[in-house]
Amino acid sequence: GESVGLHLPTLSVQEGDNSIINCAYSNSASDYFIWYKQESGKGPQFIIDIRSNMDKRQGQRVTVLLNKTVKHLSLQIAATQPGDSAVYFCADYGITSGTYKYIFGTGTRLKVLA
């Protein structure tokens, strides 16, 4: 099977509870941030994004919070469901060495317990 995420930090939550996944970034020049969900053996799927002129954005059952002061991003999933089990990772986007780049975090595995 897919070995991506084998050594990742794991967050286990009970079905129906809220999940909070955290991410730190290092590039002060980053001004756009994205959360992705990756299921085993598949490519990452876009969940939600936020621009640096905002500190909170809500989608369907998901909320992203951005704290630029401490370079921290979080993803909140409300009423977590079994289908939410996956690896989640953040990406920041901005100028790095003169070029716009996406920088991806290592990811967190979310396990939803029935």
Partner 1 sequence: DGGITQSPKYLFRKEGQNVTLSCEQNLNHDAMYWYRQDPGQGLRLIYYSQIVNDFQKGDIAEGYSVSREKKESFPLTVTSAQKNPTAFYLCASSIATGGHTEAFFGQGTRLTVV
Do residues 46 and 36 lie in contact, with contact meaning Cβ atoms separated by under 8 Å? yes
Token representation of residue 109: 């595995």
103 is an interface residue for partner 1 by CB under 8 A: yes
Instruction: Give the count of residues interacting with partner 1 (CB under 8 A).
Output: 31
In the list 25, 44, 73, 108, the residue contacting partner 1 (rule: CB under 8 A) is: 44
106 is an interface residue for partner 1 by CB under 8 A: yes
Residues in the chain: 114
In the list 89, 108, 110, 112, the residue contacting partner 1 (rule: CB under 8 A) is: 89
Token representation of residue 97: 């060495």
- We find the least distance from the C-beta atom of residue 107 to partner 1, in angstroms, to be 7
The footprint of partner 1 (CB under 8 A) covers 2-8, 31-32, 34, 36, 41-46, 49, 51, 89, 91, 93, 99-107
